[in-house]
Structure 1
């Protein structure tokens, strides 16, 4: 887990509240890249899984995604080959990764307003490094998690627990920003309100159905409405 500071806090001020951010599909436009990478990985092992089904599972951890999409009767020895193939294909897209409009500014506004900022990602550590490079916002990030920091992936809340521990904030003082139903479900298990973004390809209706407190099109729209959002309440508090 990366516990690096995003810069010195103002004298005497302890960051007691935090915003946790998913990364893939939330801050970085990568949800459909993952869909394509999984599709190719499945095909390499002889499984023809429709992209629409894959996309609905993006946001889970890799092992859980594979288990959800493939039949129970399969030879499970193939799972590791699929995971490896996905990693290899996704890695070829690292140079193409792009942050969503407003993503860096959103992190900056949160941290400069006095909140701790953590990336609550279940990406592999090497993928997370590529995502952070595309985001170019390390000055505003207090901590970041990777798949190494959780035994169970979303919708289990392990990654969020790890992120909260990294910044020393209780769940009652946090807001989570994500793009998938799995993000909302994970946060709900800790009683953390989720601000959901549709830029990862999941509809507002689906996100609200699983409990999203607010829904915006992407980081820029959230930033433009920050004062009236759940993050705004943390900043005002």
Structure 2
């Protein structure tokens, strides 16, 4: 039977979480909001509307959410030509492909942002499919992105592993019924990832690759 290795992208395969933090912080600042960067960091990985609601509250002027999101996209977009892949991200995806896994990306990115992330990873030959923000109604921590990734791979939840770096990733994977692997390279503490559903935690793609034989991504097809 096929197996699916589903990957978040930002903070998991590409070192972008803190770029998102700075872009969101500046977008909020330009709109007259003073939001601490540590608060922004803990919200990274949520869909834009949910992130704004978490940081500004439900009683905010919701008519300005679109402006904030657009400002973030513009500010973050200045990095598209130099997004840094995390160590051995491409090597990990290619190793899993060679081991018989279908590699599927599950990301809130879409369009030019997703294209920039894929260029940074530079492993399109190892990627079977991508579940992007355009394909689902609800982002993580909803299980919908992970479930859509499983549909694209054509595998049941018990034949899949989801790799991510935020509590939202772990919650989404757990709710979708897949085993979850957390990576620390997004800046979220190990205890938080484990509490949110991580079955195993590694430092970054390089450490996961080096530990593959003892990880949830081990075993025969």
TM-score, reference length from structure 1: 0.91
Match of 1:181 in 2: 167
Q: Measure the CA separation in 2 of the matches of 1:34 and 1:40.
A: 10
Q: CA deviation at 1:219?
A: 0.3
> How is 1:1-12 mapped onto 2 (pairs within 5 angstroms)?
none
Alpha-carbon RMSD: 1.0
Partner of 2:59: 73
Pairing 1:113–2:107 present: no
Q: Distance in 2 between matches of 1:194 and 1:84?
A: 32
- Aligned equivalents of 2:157, 2:110: Cα separation in 1: 24
Distance 1:47 1:150 in 2: 30
Say which SS state the counterpart of residue 218 (structure 2) adopts: helix
1:90 matched to 2:70? The reply is: no
Partner in structure 2 of residue 217 of structure 1: 203
**Paired position in structure 2 for 1:154:** 140
8 Å contact from structure 1 (residues 31, 58) kept in 2: yes
Alignment of 1:1-237 (within 5 A): 16-233=2-219, 236-237=220-221
| CA–CA separation in structure 2 for the residues paired with 1:163 and 1:122 | 12
Q: CA deviation at 1:96?
A: 2.1
- For 1:223 and 1:158, the matched residues in 2 are separated by 27
Q: CA separation in 2, counterparts of 1:124 and 1:118?
A: 14
Q: Secondary structure at the match of 1:144?
A: strand
Query: How far apart are the structure 2 equivalents of 1:211 and 1:74?
Result: 31
Q: What is the rounded CA distance, in whole Å, between the counterparts of 2:118 and 2:111 in structure 1?
A: 10
Unaligned runs of 5+ in 2: none
Please state whether the residue corresponding to 1:19 is helix, strand or coil: strand
Q: Which stretches of structure 1, 4 residues or more, deviate above 6 A after TM superposition?
A: none
Cα distance between partner residues in 1 of 2:37 and 2:63 = 23
1:95 deviation in Å?
Answer: 1.6
Q: Which runs of 5+ in 1 are unaligned?
A: 1-14
Q: TM-score, normalised by structure 2?
A: 0.97
Task: Summarize deviations over 1:143-197 as a string: whole Å, max 9, x none.
Answer: 0121111111111011111111111111111000000000000000011111100
